[in-house]
Amino acid sequence: MSDWRKTIQHALPDAKISEPLAKYTTFRIGGPADLFVDLENNQQLVMLMRMAKEAKQPVMFIGWGSNMLVRDGGVRGIVARLRGDFEKIEFPGGNRVSAGAAVRVPQLVTACAAQGLCGDESLVGVPGTVGGALVMNAGTREGEIGPLVVEVETFDPRTLAAATLHAKDLHFEYRKSNLEGRIVLGCVLQLKPGDKVDIMKRVQDFQQKRLRTQPIHTYNVGSTFKNPQGKFVAKLIEEAGLKGMTVGGARISPMHANFIENFADAKAADVLALVGKIQAQIKKSLGLDLELEMKVVGEP
């Protein structure tokens, strides 16, 4: 065991050495991180980043692990997750909500509904955290998080200081933003006032639609591929006759063809092999290059 891991574990006793990442992803797939640590506040964040710099170790941040495939060889260096102070939701007034990066998006939506604030109801179907949602401009056909953003608080590992980016500094596109590569600590969203009963009804309608159309009770990471312009990947995969196809313990969901499920102790290699088969078939039949929406990290 290398000394840098022991040193950080001494400073942050909850840090885990050679921790399997499968338990921290919704896929339930993934090899070990050299070191895994939950960070409860800014002080722990600064401490970790300073020690990582001294040890010359990379730090990768994860949220709910809902848009991520970790390869079977795991992740070298440090994997960190924000908790504690970063899970707070506050309502500063002016129909705004302040949310930490570790807040789960469905939790944020229901909290806003309870306050009589609307505009984010469709996001209740986004399974990840606010931090991840901001970085990838998460959303559904009915709306994305980007247009609601007033400001985002980020952390600069070089200066070990927080910085606030305002709406004019931010750029959101379909499933991406200029926050990629930054450490996001939280955000402020601008919503609208409304009737609590009406808002909650819309939230419940979106939840029911998701229950009917997506395999939310299986191990998956949501949408596997981004939709090509003007097309829906699920329809393309289904029309290609691939729905239900399996490789090892991974399969294309019988319920929604843009979801890959870990249905029988799948390895990351199974998922990637299945991804390759889908991409090859769609390229052959339609001439389209399907781009992954899920992030693939780690080593084979």
Q: Within its chain, how far is the Cα of 182 from the centroid?
A: 14
How far is it, in rounded angstroms, from Cα 264 to Cα 258? 18
State the pairing for strand pair 172-173/176-177: antiparallel
Average pLDDT of the segment spanning 87-102: 98
How far is it, in rounded angstroms, from Cα 74 to Cα 86? 26
DSSP 1: -
Helix (H, G, I), strand (E, B) or coil at 151: strand
Q: State the pLDDT at residue 57.
A: 97
Q: State the pLDDT at residue 132.
A: 95
How far is it, in rounded angstroms, from Cα 119 to Cα 198? 12
- Determine which one of 66, 177, 223, 253 is catalytic: 223
Average pLDDT of the segment spanning 44-56: 96
The model's pTM is 0.94
Q: How confident is the model at residue 158 (pLDDT cuts 50, 70, 90)?
A: confident
Q: State the pLDDT at residue 194.
A: 97
DSSP 124: G
259, 223 Cβ separation under 8 angstroms: yes
Q: What is the mean pLDDT of the chain?
A: 96
User: Is 253 one of the annotated active-site residues of the chain?
Assistant: no
222, 177 Cβ separation under 8 angstroms: no
Tell me the domains of the chain and their CATH numbers. Answer: 3-82 (3.30.43.10), 87-213 (3.30.465.10), 233-295 (3.90.78.10)
How far is it, in rounded angstroms, from Cα 233 to Cα 230? 10
- Determine which one of 76, 83, 175, 202 is catalytic: 175
Q: What is the pLDDT of residues 103-131, one digit of tens each?
A: 999 999 999 999 999 999 999 999 899 99
Average pLDDT of the segment spanning 201-219: 94
Q: What is the pLDDT of residues 221-251, one digit of tens each?
A: 999 999 999 999 999 999 999 999 999 999 9
DSSP code string of 275-287: HHHHHHHHHHHH-
How far is it, in rounded angstroms, from Cα 233 to Cα 145? 21
Q: What is the pLDDT of residues 127-146, one digit of tens each?
A: 899 999 999 999 988 899 99
Average pLDDT of the segment spanning 71-93: 98
Q: How confident is the model at residue 2 (pLDDT cuts 50, 70, 90)?
A: low
As a whole-number percent, the residues of the chain with pLDDT over 90 amount to: 96
User: Is 175 one of the annotated active-site residues of the chain?
Assistant: yes
Phi–psi pair at 20, nearest 5 degrees: -60, 130
Structure tokens at 292: 């992954």
As a whole-number percent, the residues of the chain with pLDDT over 70 amount to: 99
- Whether the per-residue pLDDT at 11 is higher than 60: the answer is yes
- Whether the per-residue pLDDT at 208 is higher than 70: the answer is yes
User: Is 104 one of the annotated active-site residues of the chain?
Assistant: no
Query: Which residue in this structure is represented by tokens 């399997």?
Result: 20
- Whether the per-residue pLDDT at 15 is higher than 70: the answer is yes
Q: How far is CA 173 from CA 119, 215, 232, 242, 273, in A?
A: 18, 26, 17, 29, 29
83, 102 Cβ separation under 8 angstroms: yes
